[in-house]
Structure 1
Amino acid sequence: MKLKFLALAVMANSIILAPPVVGATFIKPVSVEASSTIKDVGLDKENLINGIGLDGELHDTDFTNMWLSESVTATLTFDLGDIYGLGGAYVWQYNPGNGSTGSGVKQFDILTSLDDILFTPVLSATLAQGDGIDGWFSPELKVFTKTARYVKFSILSNYNTSSSYSGLSEVRFKSGLPVPEPDVTSLLALAVLGLFTLRGKNHFFSQKSGVGAI
């Protein structure tokens, strides 16, 4: 009886102590690292995540609210601050209202990681070139499904071969299925399995000893 009570206590404790589900519908990165950034004209990497120029899902066309690299190829690594089940990336193109949209990112690869060390390729994507019309513009959603904390953009090309820069305006992420840490359902199943295993052992020993179950 004491052993049965102990198994039930372990099962209940596993459920109570399980951390809350991590998930959100619209994920804002907590930080971003860039392999290169033009800093002298306000086109810093922080503009990719700080919401400057962003109003809901629309971004303005002020180029000082955007980001430019110092080379066509570049990498951006976003830290989401926790592990999420991701459903894609919202990407606002580099789209200044003066019409200079050739530095906008054309092709890029998306990679994800749990530890910021081992990255797994998940998608090769292409962004449409900005229209360069002064005003507001929407993001493109690049759909993928992956569990990750870190997301890397590996930028491969832009829309102007004579331009030595690549740029974006803002990046957010879409959540997919929430990620429980640990999986409460699995813990419950393991606890129940342990209880039935214990019951079977008690029945075996009671038959061997000729006495009632413990």
Structure 2
Amino acid sequence: MGKLELPVLLSDISACRRCEANLPHGPRPVVQAGASARLLIVGQAPGRKVHDTGIPWNDPSGDRLREWLNLSRDSFYDASRVAIVPTGFCYPGKGRSGDLPPRPECAPTWHAPLLQAMPDIQLVLLIGRYAQEYYLRENAKATLTDTVAAFRDYLPRYLPLPHPSPRNRYWFTMNPWFELEVLPILRERIDTLFKTAQ
């Protein structure tokens, strides 16, 4: 796939039906992108509420993520500054212990052309194991906890984070260093990005 203009690319993504047969609720790709965006958020895949509304991170996990970033909803949903490109673009459905993994077709098909169309990206937040393994490859550690703990190794381009889901309460209780060490640096990087973009 050659380089495409972002509006054409987003239109193609919206019309994508590659894994329709494997989506119990049908395809509804949820992506936010702007050519001048400086921050890229790569998560897992939309949940049911996001699928229903078509708005990324429009759920309690998104509320916590915006709190981590110290961003208002208006700033967070400003595509000229923040791109939101999950590992899988459509809601994969429910499994036995939560949502199913992101479909494997999305990232290899769409991420590289999206990044080409957003040359100003300076920081990529890798939220959850799927995003970390896709972008960090062999540099990801054995566990998500180890990868997040080694966050300085991946700066300035990448910053790995746990998923902000309320289901992860136990992880946050067991890893208080995340709030003490990672969040201040995350907020400082976001603040700098948004100030220099003005």
Q: Same fold (TM over 0.5)?
A: no
Q: Which TM-score applies when normalising by structure 1?
A: 0.23
Q: Which TM-score applies when normalising by structure 2?
A: 0.24
The structure that is strand-richer by fraction is: 1
The structure that is helix-richer by fraction is: 2
Larger relative contact order (Cα-Cα within 8 Å, sequence gap ≥ 6): 1
